[in-house]
Amino acid sequence: DIVMTQSPDSLAVSLGERATINCKSSRSVLYSSDNKNYLSWYQQKPGQPPKLLIYWASTRESGVPDRFSGSGSGTDFTLTISSLQAEDVAVYYCHQYYTTLWTFGQGTKLEIK
């Protein structure tokens, strides 16, 4: 199985400031035949199911604010929130769908400083 490791486990950022969450996979999730990274990012708020933010590592889901962006390739990925808003307080997960058995990172809890 591919192990997804996020850093940090928790993060406190001031409103309007940038938040950066990292995700490292134990092996590459870049599929050579289509040159796509099989990685997505989810946001989860208490009592709610996860919400898809980013897929193919950098494609923003429809309706997701453009302050959210994804980057990276191969084994190292980043989710960036360019200007933190109060409604962004949540837990964020990276997720690989490259292998037969899909896996999630352990989550990063984002709070307001």
Partner 1 sequence: EVQLVESGGGLVKPGGSLRLSCAASGFTFSHAWMIWVRQAPGKGLEWVGRIKSKAEGGTTHYAAPVGGRFTISRDDSENTLYLQMNSLKAEDTAVYYCHYTTHAPAFVDYWGQGTLVTVSS
Residues forming contacts to partner 1 in the complex (CB under 8 A) are: 1, 40, 42, 44, 49-50, 52, 55-56, 59, 61, 91, 93, 95, 97, 100-107
Sign of CA dihedral 52, 57, 29, 106: negative
Query: How far apart are CB 6 and partner 1 at their closest, in Å?
Result: 9
Residue 55 or 72 with smaller CB distance to partner 1: 55
User: Looking at beta carbons only, is 44 or 71 nearer to partner 1?
Assistant: 44
Distances (CA, A) of 18 to 26, 62, 85, 92, 110: 27, 22, 10, 15, 11
Q: How far is the CB of 61 from partner 1 (least distance, A)?
A: 7
In the complex with partner 1, the residue whose CB is nearer, 36 or 67, is 36
Q: What's the chain's length in residues? A: 113
Q: State in angstroms the smallest separation of the CB of 93 from partner 1.
A: 6
Beta pairing, strands 19-25 & 76-81: antiparallel
Instruction: Yes or no: say if 6 and 42 are a contact pair by the CB < 8 Å rule.
Output: no
